[in-house]
Amino acid sequence: MTKQFASQGDLTEKKISFTEIGRDLWAFTAEGDPNTGVIIGDDSVMIVDAQATPRLANKVIEKIRTVTDKPIKYVVLTHYHAVRVLGASAYGASETIMSEKARAMVVDRGQEDWESEFGRFPRLFQGHESIPGLTWPTLTFTDRATFYLGKRRVDLEFLGRAHTAGDIVAYVPDANVMFTGDIVEYHSACYCGDGHFGDWPATLESIRSFDLDAIAPGRGDALVGSDMVDEALDNTADFVMSTYRPVARVAQGGGSLKEAWDACREACDPKFADYAIYEHCLPFNVARAYDEALGIDTPRIWTADRDRQMWEALQG
């Protein structure tokens, strides 16, 4: 039986959880599917990451309306990936916020990413016909921006490259809680196809320096308490470097992409094979690690055609 590419065969619906991780701070999670954060202020609501389609975003809105009737004013997008941003229109927010770098990535590769991700993971694009087009921010910033939801302050910050070059986090100081997007995962594989392996560990340490009480990660369960936070930071760093090191040895030694894939599997399968979307992420992670090890700093754009060629090469 031919192995299906990425998550084309993953058709099983995931159980949704809606977990309060601080006062009026919620994490919408679904067993390794993309998470959404909810920040409820005195007068309005801020969303952190939007889901892939308006239909899926409406599942988040249903949960929100069980805890507040305040209007949704802001949608914050931690990075540019289609599964995070294309559902933004459902919230009816007056402002959509990205880093300036993330907006530039929408310009550079947003359409290609949409088409590529749609082919990789069709289940996450339920109701795709309702997507009005690429999601564009109404506000951008470079390093840091602060917003007030009444008296509640939210700091949006770029702490360094990691999952993409434009990742941001949302920090709520009064609760000491952070929404990290895909910089941090919990028992879910990191997607590194647009990643920066050399920078990612330092960005994780910047997050650790906040000494957080809770994190809503990009995928996986909400992280409540310092023990879970530290475990997730440690495991994410381990995943990233366990992926990069064996691939880099092969690439810098003149080996092939297929040899790098085999070396990565040998190092990572024993530790991470049971993580959500592990098999989905692995080919993209190996390809990006191989490029970075050879000095390619800016990740190459993924297209449906490049996906196919890469998968064929790895399957021999």
Residue (of 205, 280, 210) closest to 241 by Cα position: 205
Angle between helices 200-208 and 226-252 (to 10 degrees): 170
Mean pLDDT of 108-112: 96
The pLDDT tens digits of the residues spanning 119-142 come to 887 888 888 999 999 999 999 999
* Token digits of residue 107: 């310009």
pLDDT on residue 1: 34
Digit-coded pLDDT (tens) for 19-72: 999 999 999 999 889 999 999 999 999 999 999 999 999 999 999 999 999 999
Query: Residue 181 to residues 3, 136, 158, 201: CA-CA distances in angstroms?
Result: 29, 18, 12, 15
Q: Of residues 110 and 32, which shows the higher confidence score? A: 110
Task: Give the β-pairing of 177-181 and 169-172.
Answer: antiparallel
**Cα–Cα distance, 42 to 297 (Å, whole number):** 43
Q: Quick one: pLDDT band at residue 7, thresholds 50, 70, 90?
A: very low
176 CB contacts (<8 Å, ≥6 apart)? 22, 210, 211, 212, 213, 214
Q: How confident is the model at residue 3 (pLDDT cuts 50, 70, 90)?
A: low
Is residue 86 predicted with pLDDT exceeding 90? yes
pLDDT band at 11 (very low <50, low <70, confident <90, very high): low
pLDDT mean over 101-110: 98
Burial bucket for residue 66 (CB in 10 Å: 0-12, 13-18, 19+) = exposed
Distance set, CA 45 to CA 28, 67, 70, 191 (Å): 14, 11, 6, 28
Q: Between β-strands 144-149 and 95-99, what pairing exists: parallel, antiparallel or unpaired?
A: unpaired
